[in-house]
Amino acid sequence: MVLRPDPLASRPPALELEAAQRILRDAFGVEAALAPLAGERDQNFRVDAADGRRFLLKISNPADGASIVEMQTSALRHIAQVDPGIPVMRTLPTTAGGQWTQTPGPDGRIYPVRLFTFLPGRVTTAVALTTQMIWSFGENTARLGRALRGFFHPCADYEILWGIKHAPKLRPLLAHLDDARCRTQLEQVLDRFDARAAPALPGLRAQVIHGDMSLDNVLFDEDSLVSGIVDFGDMSHAPLVCDLAVAIADVLHGRDDAIEAAEPMIDGYVSVTPLDDDEAELLADLVAARLAAEVAVTAWRVGLFPENAPYSASGEPAARAFLDSIDAIGIDTLTRRFRHACRRLPYRRAATGSLLQRRRLALPRSPLFYQRPAHLVRGQGVWLFDADDRRYLDCYNNVPVVGHSHPRVVRAVTQQQRLLATHSRYLHEAIVELAERLTTTLPSGLDAVLVVNSGSEANDLAWRIAQAATGRGGAIVTAHAYHGLTEATHALYPEEWAPLERPAHVATVPAPDGYRGAYRREDEGWVERYAAHVEDAARALGDRGLAAMFVDPAFTADGILTPPASYLEQATRRVRALGGLVVADEVQAGHGRCGAGLWSFQAQGIEPDMVVLGKPMGNGFPVAALVVRSELLDHVPEETELFSTFGGNPVACAAALAVLDVIEDEGLASNAADVGAYLRLGLVKLAERHGLVGEVRGEGLLLGVDLVNDQVTRIPAAGPARNAIEAARERHVLLGVTGRALNVLKIRPPLVFQREHADLLLDVLDDVLASSVR
C-alpha cells in the first residue's frame, strides 16, 4: 500500500493567473489567455491559445506527488490506446519532451503541472439529464472500466476516503454531523456495509478504476452523448462495480426519480460489461455507502476549509435526499430492483398489462397459460422469476430438463455461437459427436441420426421414413396422443379430428388406462385386451396397411399412464406382425425424466424402430432428433435430401451435448427416480385426505394426479383441476393439466427438483385441493 497524504486534507493550489501563464509559456511554449475553472483539489485553467486551439492547464494538488501524476498520465495513454473512442484528455508534452513539469508554489510546496487537450461539451445538472444521457453515462463508465482492465501502476494501491471500499473509515467523521437523524441514517448504512459489503468486496473483480464518475467529471455533447471524461485524480485499485455505484450515487442525486433513473444507467453499463451476481447483489449497498461518504466527508470538510464550503457542500442535500428515498422504499427492495436491472434483457422491458394487450393483438392465436398470465423474465434451476422479481416454483416444464439457465448449457451455447453457427452441410465435430453419443445410449440397431429443430419435425420425418420403408400408408396412435403441429403430425392428433373427419390413413387404439378406460386393472387380461386393439385399428386402415404406430411410452397426453411393460411389448409384437414399425416418441418422457435411464421405452422392454427426441434436448435451445435403424433409410430415395437449415447446427449440437453431460454428471435420472418416488408418496398421502384425487400415476418426475368428482364413478373433475392450477399459480407454483378431459394435474418439473421443492408443491396442493372442489 502506497502511503500518500490525503489530497482532500490538503489545500488546493492557488497560483496567481500570471504565474500560471508564465509556467505555460516557459514549460509548454504556449502563449495564451487563461480562464480559471472549478476544481475541488486541483487548480484548473482553460487555455485559449492565440491560434484558436484550446487546452486545459492542470496544477495538481501537491498531495498528488510525481508518482501519482505519472500514474494518471499513463492511464490516460493506456485508455487512448485500448479504446480510442473513449473521450479522455490527451497530454501535451513539455518543451523538454516530458509529460509534465513541476513548479514551486507561493506556499513553498511543489506543484505538478500538466497541459491537456480540451474536451468539448458541457457539464450538466442531474435534473437536465435525459434517459439517453443517463444511458450513455452508464455505457461510458463501463467502457472506461474495460479500457483500464489491463492497466497497472504501483501507486494505484492507495487509500482515498471517497473510495467506497473504505466506507468503514467514515465512522469517525459522523461526529461532525449535527443532525442526529442523519447520523443514525449514516450509521445504519455503515452497519449494513460492514455486514454485507465489506466481507464480499475482496471477492469481487478489482482493477484500477476511475473512482469518481460523477456529474462534474463528465461532459455531454449536443446529441446527449458523453463527450468527455475528466479528473482521474481518484483512480485506485478497487472493485470494478464501484465506478457504477459512484455513477448512480453522484450523477442521479438531485433527481426526484433517482431510483428509477438508475435503471437506464445500469442498462447502459451492462450493455458493455455484464455484472456478476455478487456485484449486482451489492450495488444498492455501495450506492448508499457512496452517498453516506458524500454527506460525512462534506460535514468534515466544511469544518476544515470553511472558505470552500459552498463548493464542498453543493451535493450534500441531494445526497441526503437520495438516502431518504432509499430508506423510503427500503434497501432490500432497492437491492432487488438493482439486481433485476443488472440482468439486462436484450429487448425493451414492458409493463405486464400493456404487454398482454399487445400480445393479444399481435399474436391472437398464441395460447397463454392462466387467467392471469405469468410475465416471466428469467429462470434459474427450478425457479422462474416474473417482471417484479417474484419467484415461481416450476413444476411444469420439461424443456429446461437440467434446470433453467443451467450455466454449462449457457456456456456451451454462447461459446459455440461466438465461434461458428452454420448449417450442417459442412464438416463439424459437434453434430458427429452428438449422433455418436446418442446412438451409444440406444439399442445397437438404432444407429442412424437425423438432427432437426422440433419434435413435430422429427415425427414428421419418422412418418415419411416409415411410409418409404414399409411401402404402406397407415398409422396408429393412441386415442389422445399428440405428436406435433405439422400437417402430417396434426393428422396424428385425434383430439382435433372433428367427428367423422378421422383422416382415413390414421386409426386409434385406446390408451391403456387401467383406471377409467374400457378395461380396468381389476379386469382379467386387461393389458392384453388393450394391446389387441392394434389389430382392430390396423383393420380400420384398410388396404393402405400399417406403416407405423407412434407411441409416447408415458402416454402423457392420454393422462400420464403407467401400464405394465407387457402392454408395449405386446403392442409392438402385434405391430410388427402386421408389417408396421414402432416409433417411440420420447419428446415428453425422455432425457432421464422417468428415472430409469435416459429413455422411457427402455423400462418397457421394447426396441423401437425409430426414436423421436425433442423438447428437453437443448434445455431450451431448439434441437430435436430422430434416431432410426439405418437400413430403414435405404428405402428413402437417394435424391431425397434429409436436411433442414438449422437442424444440427453447431450451436444446437453444443446445447444438446451439454445437456447430456449435465444429466450424466449431476445424476439427474436417478434424482428423478428418487425425488419422483418421494413426491409420488406425498401425493398418495394427499389423496387420502382429498376426495378430489382419484388416482396418482406416473414414473420419476412425470406424475399425474387424476381429479374426480366422485371416487366411485371416476367422472373426471375438469373444473376443479383448472381451479387448482389457477390457485397454485396465485401461490407461485406452476402446474398444468393433461388427459382427455383435462382433469389430470400434470407434474413435470426440471429434473434438478429436490425433496424440499416437492414439499413446497405438496403444501400448496394440499391447500388448493381443499379449495378447488367446485
Binding test (CB under 6 A) with ligand PMP, winner from 404, 406, 483, 505? 483
A 10 A CB-CB count for 229 gives 23
556 and 589 in contact (C-beta within 8 Å)?
A: yes
Query: How many chain residues interact with ligand PMP (CB under 6 A)?
Result: 13
**Least distance to ligand PMP, CB of residue 297, Å:** 60
Identity of the residue numbered 152: F
- DSSP label at residue 381: B
- Which residues, 6 or more positions from 344, have their beta carbon under 8 angstroms from its beta carbon? 266, 267, 270, 271, 274
DSSP sequence for 658-713 = HHHHHHHHTTHHHHHHHHHHHHHHHHHHHHHH-TTEEEEEEETTEEEEEEBS-TTT
Q: Which of 13, 14, 122 lies closest to 62 in space, CA to CA?
A: 13
**Which lies closer to ligand PMP via its Cβ, residue 320 or residue 483?**
483
Interhelix angle for 331-342 vs 258-270, to 10°? 30
Among 103, 140, 217, 454, binds ligand PMP (CB under 6 A): 454
Whats the size of the chain, residue-wise? 774
- The yes or no reply on residue 704 touching ligand PMP (CB under 6 A) is no
**Least distance (Å) between residue 157 CB and ligand PMP:** 56
CB of 584 to ligand PMP, least distance (A): 10
- Interacting span for ligand PMP (CB under 6 A) from 190-198, 364-372, 451-459, 500-508: 451-459
Residue 554 CB, nearest approach to ligand PMP (Å): 9
* Binding-site member from 163, 228, 517, 614 for ligand PMP (CB under 6 A): 614
Nearer to ligand PMP, 261 or 557 (CB): 557
Q: How far is the CB of 611 from ligand PMP (least distance, A)?
A: 12
Closest CA to 284 of 249, 256, 239, 317: 249
Residue number with CB closer to ligand PMP (455 or 716): 455
Q: Residue 230 to residues 56, 225, 233, 731: CA-CA distances in angstroms? A: 11, 15, 9, 51
Least distance from C-beta 478 to ligand PMP, angstroms? 11
Compare residues 335 and 454 and give the one whose CB is closer to ligand PMP: 454
Kindly report the number of other CB atoms within 10 A of residue 51's CB atom: 8
Residue 454's alpha-carbon distances to 460, 483, 484, in angstroms, are 10, 11, 9
Nearer to ligand PMP, 312 or 456 (CB): 456
Burial class for 231, CB neighbours closer than 10 Å (0-12, 13-18, 19+): buried
From candidates 87, 400, 474, 484, binder to ligand PMP by CB under 6 A: 484
> Which one, of 333, 354, 210, 317, lies nearest residue 269 by Cα?
210
Q: Which stretch binds ligand PMP (CB under 6 A): 425-433, 563-571, 580-588, 631-639?
A: 580-588
Among residues 112, 145, 455, 595, the one that binds ligand PMP under rule CB under 6 A? 455
Q: Are 129 and 255 in contact (CB under 8 A)?
A: yes
Stretch that binds ligand PMP, among 107-115, 477-485, 662-670, 697-705 (CB under 6 A): 477-485
Largest interatomic CA distance in the chain = 112
Rule CB under 6 A: choose which of 482, 555, 567, 601 binds ligand PMP.
482
Interaction residues for ligand PMP, span 581-600 (CB under 6 A): 585, 587-588
For residue 716, what is the DSSP state?
Answer: B
When the beta carbons of 475 and 587 are compared against ligand PMP, the nearer one is 587
In angstroms, give the least distance from the CB of 373 to ligand PMP: 19
Q: Which is nearer to ligand PMP, 424 or 454 (CB)?
A: 454
Minimum distance of ligand PMP from residue 442's CB (angstroms): 18
Candidates 61, 99, 456, 738; binder of ligand PMP (CB under 6 A) is: 456
User: Considering the complex, what minimum distance in angstroms separates the CB of residue 414 from ligand PMP?
Assistant: 23
Contact segment (CB under 6 A) with ligand PMP among 201-209, 408-416, 454-462, 512-520 equals 454-462
> CA-CA distance, 609 to 446, in Å (whole number)?
7
Q: How far is CA 405 from CA 388, 577, 654, 735, 747, in A?
A: 19, 45, 15, 19, 20
Residue span binding ligand PMP (CB under 6 A) among the ranges 35-43, 158-166, 448-456, 502-510 = 448-456
- Provide, rounded to whole angstroms, the least separation between the CB of residue 141 and ligand PMP: 43
Binding track, positions 112-151, relative to ligand PMP; x by CB under 6 A: ----------------------------------------
The letter for the amino acid at 724 is A
* The three three-digit cell numbers of residue 338, written as one number: 438493482
Nearer to ligand PMP, 373 or 736 (CB): 736
Q: Which one among 227, 397, 459, 649 touches ligand PMP, defined by CB under 6 A?
A: 459
Q: Of 261, 242, 260, whose CA–CA distance to 251 is shortest?
A: 261
Beta carbon of residue 614, minimum distance to ligand PMP (angstroms, whole number): 5
Helix 668-689 to helix 755-771 angle (10° resolution) is 30
Please give the residues from 504 up to 563 whose contact with ligand PMP meets the rule CB under 6 A.
552
Site residues for ligand PMP per CB under 6 A: 454-456, 459, 482-484, 552, 585, 587-588, 614-615
